[in-house]
Amino acid sequence: MKQILSAIAIIVLIVSLVVISFTIQQANDEQKNLTLDLQHRSSTLADNLKTSIEPYSNGDSNDYLQTLVDKSADKERLIGLAVFDNKDNILAISSDLSKELTVSSQLFVATVMDSDNADGEFLSPKDSQKVYVFAVPLHTTDQTTGKESVSGSLLLMQNAGYIDTAVIEIWKNNMIRLLVQAILLAGAILLIIRWLIYQPIFNLVQAMRNARSGLENGKTKLGNHFFFQPLINEVTNISKSLTEARTIASQEARLRIQKLDSPWTSQRLKEFTKDVLKGRNIVVVSNREPYMHEKHGGRITYLQPASGMVTAIEPIMRACEGLWIAHGSGNADKLVVDKDDKVNVPPDEPKYTLKRVWLTKEEEKGYYEGFSNEGIWPLCHTAHTRPVFRKEDWEEYQKVNGKFAQTVLKEIKNMHKPIVLIQDYHFALLPRMIKNARPDAMVGIFWHIPWPHAEGFKICPWRKEILDGMLGADLIGFHTQLHCNNFIDTVGHELEALIDLETFAVQKGGHVSYIKPFPISIPFLEETSSLTDDDFDKKEFLKDMGISSEFVGVGVDRLDYTKGIPERLLGIEYFLDQYPQYKEKFTFIQIAAPSRTSISEYSQFGEKVEKEVERINNKFKIKHWKPILYIKKHHTHEEITKLYKAADVCLVTSLHDGMNLVAKEFIMARSDENGVLILSQFAGASGELKDAIIVNPYNTEQVGEAVRQSLEMMQSEKMKRMKKLRDIVKNYNVYRWSADLLKEMVNLE
């Protein structure tokens, strides 16, 4: 639309310039013609009156002169007359002529008499219309000598305002015509674009979208458009080919469902969900929404928040076309939902429904910032940041969990045996609330962060309520078996319940909850980026970033104290201290996306990281080289992929992490089977990715030595390790994770 409006604006501007140019010419011609006409009429009138007035200009018959002036003043557009003697004295003046105006013209009259030539000029007096004054010299003949001399002057004053009025009228009429023409022209252009260009293109896009989405091509009428017919024919053929390919892929996916060794794809997951769910509805509940709508100026855009949870859950929703309930946090979220606060997503290719729940500032502060992220988050990560538990935060946490429970129950009211998947530590109380109201619903909760040991969890004042809320679920999922063990141990210490260690189940109040590990992953098999190795120029990319070093390391994290960024920086410092030959040859790029900036611990942590970067850079800086390039902002997936491809080594040094998908994203990006991953032993991913260099992030020397080992590793060794890592991520991707989670839930019945 912007381009169309710009085109219309340019055309209207060109037409306007042409019209204005002609108007200027027309106005100038009209002004010139009217001026010449006025001057001619003034000269003719003055010559006619001069003959009658001249004999009496010697001042001897002023009364007679006055009579002549009064009789002659009644002319169209003539303001008045005045007769002067050769000493600039007024001998006679018409009654309508302003004395002030006459006096101001005396200098002009004197000039005319001195030059003995008739002349005229325009005057624009204050509070009066523009006038034209014309003066002719009067002569008398000396009776003795017969010599003629100037005896005075005749002054005519005419109304010249009509000239300006005529010019203004020309501009007014032409501008009205221009406005009408611009409106008609813009309307015509819009209609032409709408019917001859936009509609055919819209139909083409809709046809491609339907083909891509798996809808029948016949639902879109392409029509017959002369200019676009070749393109329409080609799109029709492509749509048919896509439909045929999808049909074949669907058939193959059905055949692969029971084959454990076949790769998991989105199409296989879709067929799997159809086969397993048999028409049952899935409802996902999370704090973070999969798509946020933002308003910038007058334009509404959308973005997908960086979240491992979103990455993992969305394939399920795309496959089963379910309902996702989440907190609406975008500043334009309310502008795009319907009367039920729902919107179809993804925006460019709708597959499922997103229902947004609105929270007040007080609820956000207490439930999200307070209890969830100042309490549970540091408690579960045991990253040496003191958890803060406030009663008012706990009350808001209960309130918001109740608000989401009411929303879920309303949505599943008419659903038969729905499946409800609750995400993360924001909704520990929700499983019990839903299960009590709808015992027939299959409820699962996946805890995306670690679960601490039993003694550590005792810090929480409301630990029994949290455990009881979670045990309302039929299935409780964690990333690793260790987290499952810690949870079972915690329940044994805090609640009276029957624990079956053989099946890893907890029975409380007649209800059984199963605790299982599901290591989350990424959509490895599908191309998530249009960037290929052939398209990517590493040297050019690094040059654009101002990097000329031979070796590059990268770290990609949220600016969170659990990610081990300061410890990583100390490892880089140790590496450069011990191996100075890498100065000017190695640059480490740290991407730090701002996170939870309204929480004081996070803002203080951000300041700490910046000071540490500055200190290390000042210590090693040589000319234009500095060892650390610190970039504190959010990046798109495309930008991050380029960083992964450019890096010789990627450092993931979490102090404690449920999984950490950055490690797997780096592996996915390395289709060249190059690069080295340094991974913290405290990240959940370390249990799977054994061919990474595993380090203790608290051990500065070990991290520094791992960097050296990565840079000096034989190329064959790098490729051997990366190939194994890629096989692991490929074989257990997010589609298989989703299938395992759904299958486990359905099998519990």
Q: How many other β-carbons are positioned within 10 Å of the β-carbon of residue 496?
A: 8
Tokens 């605790």, located at residue: 515
Radius of gyration (C-alpha) of the chain in whole angstroms = 44
Same domain as 556, residue 458: no
Mean pLDDT lowest among 243-247, 441-445, 517-521: 243-247
Residue length, the chain?
749
Closest by CA position to 524, among listed 321, 737, 716: 737
C-alpha pair distances (Å), 26 with each of 23, 44, 748: 5, 27, 89
Mean pLDDT of the chain: 87
Mean pLDDT lowest among 54-63, 74-83, 157-166, 543-552: 54-63
Q: What is the dihedral of CA 79, 85, 86, 87, to 10 degrees?
A: -100
How far apart CA 547 and CA 525 sit, in angstroms, is 32
Note the helical H segments in 458-500: 463-470, 481-494
Q: What would the pLDDT profile of 96-134 be if each residue is shown by its tens digit?
A: 776 656 666 778 888 888 888 999 888 877 666 788 889
Tokens 């009217």, located at residue: 34
Closest by CA position to 381, among listed 696, 595, 599, 683: 683
- Look at residue 226 in the predicted model and tell me its pLDDT: 57
Same domain as 703, residue 577: yes
Confidence band for 232, pLDDT divided at 50, 70 and 90: low
Say yes or no to pLDDT of 670 above 80. yes
Structure tokens at 715: 């190329």
**Does residue 671 sit in helix, strand or coil?**
coil
Mean pLDDT lowest among 424-438, 516-530, 534-548: 516-530
Q: What is the DSSP string of 410-426?
A: HHTTT-SS-EEEEESGG
Say yes or no to pLDDT of 247 above 70. no
- Is residue 430, in this structure, part of any structural domain at all? yes
Same domain as 412, residue 278: yes
Last residue of a domain, one of 473, 503, 525: 473
Closest by CA position to 596, among listed 310, 288, 296, 290: 288
Say yes or no to pLDDT of 705 above 50. yes
- Look at residue 533 in the predicted model and tell me its pLDDT: 61
Q: Most confidently modeled of 122-126, 156-160, 710-714?
A: 710-714
Q: How many other β-carbons are positioned within 10 Å of the β-carbon of residue 27?
A: 17
The domain of 289 spans 271-473
Say yes or no to pLDDT of 214 above 70. no
Same domain as 453, residue 559: no
Same domain as 553, residue 467: no
- Look at residue 304 in the predicted model and tell me its pLDDT: 81
How far apart CA 470 and CA 460 sit, in angstroms, is 15
Confidence band for 250, pLDDT divided at 50, 70 and 90: low
- Look at residue 222 in the predicted model and tell me its pLDDT: 54
**CATH number, position 43:** 3.30.450.20
Whether the upstream peptide bond of residue 305 has omega within 30° of 0, thus cis, is no
- Contacts of residue 720, defined as CB under 8 A and 6 or more positions apart, other chains included, come to none
Same domain as 457, residue 547: no
Q: What is the DSSP string of 572-598?
A: HHHHHHH-GGGTTTEEEEEEEE---TT
- Contacts of residue 605, defined as CB under 8 A and 6 or more positions apart, other chains included, come to 559, 560, 561
Say yes or no to pLDDT of 514 above 90. yes
Same domain as 548, residue 456: no
Phi, psi (deg, nearest 5) at residue 420: -115, 120
How far apart CA 706 and CA 553 sit, in angstroms, is 12
Say yes or no to pLDDT of 746 above 80. yes
Q: What would the pLDDT profile of 332-385 be if each residue is shown by its tens digit?
A: 999 999 999 999 999 888 889 999 999 999 999 999 999 999 999 999 998 778
Same domain as 568, residue 462: no
How far apart CA 384 and CA 402 sit, in angstroms, is 31
C-alpha pair distances (Å), 339 with each of 331, 397, 572: 17, 26, 54
Same domain as 559, residue 415: no
**CATH number, position 378:** 3.40.50.2000
For the purposes of burial, counting CB atoms within 10 Å of the CB of 136, is it exposed (0-12), middle (13-18) or buried (19 or more)? Answer: buried
Greatest Cα-to-Cα distance within the chain, rounded to the nearest angstrom: 151
Mean pLDDT lowest among 58-62, 421-425, 494-498: 58-62
- Is residue 29, in this structure, part of any structural domain at all? yes
Q: What would the pLDDT profile of 16-36 be if each residue is shown by its tens digit?
A: 898 899 999 998 998 899 989
Confidence band for 260, pLDDT divided at 50, 70 and 90: low
- Is residue 495, in this structure, part of any structural domain at all? no
Same domain as 460, residue 315: yes
Give the number of domains in the chain: 3
Q: Most confidently modeled of 129-138, 516-525, 667-676?
A: 667-676
- Look at residue 223 in the predicted model and tell me its pLDDT: 59
- Is residue 255, in this structure, part of any structural domain at all? no
Which residues share a beta bridge with 557? 592
- Is residue 201, in this structure, part of any structural domain at all? no
Q: What would the pLDDT profile of 289-346 be if each residue is shown by its tens digit?
A: 999 999 888 889 888 876 778 878 888 888 888 999 999 998 999 999 999 999 999 9
- Contacts of residue 216, defined as CB under 8 A and 6 or more positions apart, other chains included, come to 210, 243
Query: Please, are residues 101 and 157 in contact by the beta-carbon 8 Å criterion?
Result: yes
Last residue of a domain, one of 455, 473, 491: 473
DSSP state of 562: T
- Is residue 384, in this structure, part of any structural domain at all? yes
Same domain as 550, residue 458: no
- Look at residue 527 in the predicted model and tell me its pLDDT: 47
- Is residue 478, in this structure, part of any structural domain at all? no
Mean pLDDT of 70-83: 79
Say yes or no to pLDDT of 624 above 80. yes
Say yes or no to pLDDT of 622 above 80. yes
Burial 232-266 (b: 16+ CB within 10 A, else e): beebbeebeebbeeeeebbeebeebbeeeeeebbb
- Look at residue 219 in the predicted model and tell me its pLDDT: 46
Q: Order of strands, edge to edge, in the sheet holding 131-141? A: 90-93, 78-85, 148-159, 131-141, 119-123
Q: Name which residue leads in pLDDT, 670 or 158.
A: 670
Query: Please, are residues 53 and 44 in contact by the beta-carbon 8 Å criterion?
Result: no
Mean pLDDT lowest among 217-231, 595-609, 614-628: 217-231
Structure tokens at 399: 């309130």
**Does residue 559 sit in helix, strand or coil?**
coil
- Is residue 148, in this structure, part of any structural domain at all? yes
Q: How many other β-carbons are positioned within 10 Å of the β-carbon of residue 166?
A: 14
How far apart CA 153 and CA 665 sit, in angstroms, is 100
Closest by CA position to 723, among listed 685, 684, 691: 691
Same domain as 713, residue 579: yes
Last residue of a domain, one of 446, 473, 500: 473
Q: What would the pLDDT profile of 441-474 be if each residue is shown by its tens digit?
A: 999 999 999 999 999 999 999 999 999 999 999 9
Which residues share a beta bridge with 136? 154
- Look at residue 64 in the predicted model and tell me its pLDDT: 79
Phi, psi (deg, nearest 5) at residue 442: -90, 115
